[in-house]
Amino acid sequence: MEPPKFRQDGISQKQHDADSYRCEVEARNTPGGMCRQMEIFVKCMNAKGYGVIPGTGNKGECGDIF
């Protein structure tokens, strides 16, 4: 499983990287396995105003997370 890529207009790469890192840390500290962690990561990035870039990421066994 590969996470999707996200974008938000008007955000610098530095800010994108910082937001992505914070969401990754939050997700990794969430119990419940890889699919739950991916769900938390996607929700975190969405909450920060990012949208998934269509066609990126590989859901694998996790179904419709993004």
**Of 13 and 1, more confident:** 13
Annotated domain spans of the chain? 11-49
| Cα gap 58→19, rounded to integer Å | 21
- Per-residue pLDDT tens for 19-64? 999 999 999 999 988 889 989 999 999 999 999 998 888 777 777 6
The torsion angle over the Cα atoms of residues 2, 21, 37 and 59, rounded to 10 degrees, is: -20
Residue 66: its pLDDT value, please? 63
Residue 60 DSSP label: G
Categorize the per-residue pLDDT at 3 as very low, low, confident or very high, splitting at 50, 70 and 90: confident
Q: What are phi and psi of 64, to 5 degrees?
A: -95, 55
Angle (CA) 29-31-34 rounded to 5° is: 90
Question: Would you mind telling me the total number of residues written for the chain in this entry?
Answer: 66
Residue 8: its pLDDT value, please? 95
